[in-house]
Amino acid sequence: MLKMIIVAVLLSSSVNHAQRSAEQAVLEAERKGCLAYQERDLAGIKAFLTDDYTLTDSHGGITTKKDDLDDFLNDRIRYATFMNKNMRVRIYGEAAVVTGQTVLTGVAAGKSFNVEVQFTDTLVRIRGQWKLAAGHVSRLAPSSNGGNGGHN
């Protein structure tokens, strides 16, 4: 009986470690994705997004990987800040759901913006790499830091 308990504890510990490891890998992918957008790293953005990636904004608009890349290539948007916070990760085999908030500042279409959004991201593990397949953002009320809405 003692051997069965020890085996169960070891298996549970191993599963918990694998779960934490996957969660950390997803958070790292999110961090690198944000940094790629902030630093205008087109190769990093291409690597972070699946080819069929879509983002639904708080107005129901849908953008794709091609749209995001075109925005950068045509200098329609520049992020000074692109930072996720308060993230929660749930792993489902080769898929993960991440929720949190994103702080965005920069210039879009010649106008400054300072926005905070609530997001839900769905990532998939492809050949060992976590990639963003779909996202949804909803704008949060402007904070006391003077956020003016702007871009989502």
Helices (H), the chain: 2-38, 42-48, 65-73
DSSP secondary structure, 95-106, as one string:
EEEEEEEEEEEE
127-145 pLDDT, tens digit each: 999 999 999 999 998 754 4
Tokens of 13: 């510990």
Of 86, 92, 96, the residue nearest 135 (C-alpha):
96
> pTM of this prediction?
0.82
Domains of the chain: 2-139 (3.10.450.50)
pLDDT at residue 96 tops 70? yes
Of 22, 14, 13, 17, the residue nearest 96 (C-alpha):
22
